[in-house]
């Protein structure tokens, strides 16, 4: 491969990696074209991108961007999944695809987040995180809980007074009859 093409590929990879939140490494050996297409579609729907490139070129691009350059997981036929945003959703899409019985050829090796190298277990833990919307809903519920309790406590005396008055009115109504 001529050197000018390699420089172009490294600069293209560098552009893709510059805004990346995370990069996941997986081995795709043994996938059919239909399976690979399905994998790319799932990752794209989760706001990610699958890139297949030579490992040495990816290592060069990672080094130029300032990300970690793991030597151990960047060997063999790899697909690099770039998560531009919402990396838990991209990791979840990868995990769901790889967990299907017919897609056992897909092997997730690990990932990168900034200068940190993620192990397989860390990538799986990232995939198990709730979505952003779910976390926001949990936060709102947590913040609303004490307020709801305060409203309940403050409305207690007035509710008790209304109950006493209604019972008193019923008693007076039954005495008059």
Q: What are phi and psi of 150, to 5 degrees?
A: -65, -45
Q: Are residues 114 and 165 in the same domain?
A: no
The domain boundary residue, chosen from 91, 114, 129: 129
User: Which of 81-95, 105-119, 139-153 has the weakest average pLDDT?
Assistant: 139-153
Query: Residues 42-94: pLDDT tens digits?
Result: 999 988 899 888 888 888 888 888 888 888 888 888 889 999 888 888 899 99
Distance of CA 24 to the CA centre of its chain: 12
| 20 shares its domain with 70 | yes
Are 108 and 95 a contacting pair, CB within 8 Å? yes
- Regarding whether 170 and 108 lie in a shared domain, the answer is no
For residues 36-43, average pLDDT: 91
- Identify whether residues 39 and 92 lie together within a single domain: yes
33 is in which domain, residue-wise? 3-129
Q: Which of 129, 146, 165 is the last residue of a domain?
A: 129
CATH number at residue 122: 3.30.70.1730
Shared domain check, 140 and 117: no
Contacts of 122 (CB under 8 A, 6+ apart): 110, 111
Q: 89 and 166, same structural domain?
A: no
Asked whether residue 164 falls in the same domain as residue 110, the answer is: no
Q: Roughly what angle, to the nearest 10 degrees, separates helices 120-127 and 87-99? A: 110
Tell me how many domains the chain contains. Answer: 2
């Amino acid at each position: 491969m001529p050197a000018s093409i390699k420089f172009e590929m490294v600069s293209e990879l560098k552009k893709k990696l510059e805004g990346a939140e995370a990069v996941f490494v997986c081995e795709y050996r043994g996938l059919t074209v239909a399976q690979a297409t399905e994998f790319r579609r799932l990752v794209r729907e989760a706001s990610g991108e699958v890139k297949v490139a030579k490992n040495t070129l990816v290592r060069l691009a990672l080094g130029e961007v300032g990300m970690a350059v793991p030597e151990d997981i960047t060997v063999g036929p790899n697909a690099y999944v770039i998560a531009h945003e919402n990396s838990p959703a991209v990791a979840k899409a990868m995990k769901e695809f790889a967990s299907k019985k017919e897609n056992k050829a897909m092997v997730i090796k690990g990932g990168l987040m900034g200068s940190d190298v993620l192990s397989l277990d860390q990538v799986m833990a990232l995939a198990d995180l709730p979505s952003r919307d779910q976390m926001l809903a949990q936060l709102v519920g947590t913040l609303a809980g004490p307020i709801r309790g305060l409203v309940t406590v403050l409305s207690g005396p007035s509710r008790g007074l209304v109950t006493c008055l209604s019972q008193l009115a019923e008693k007076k109504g039954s005495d008059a009859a």
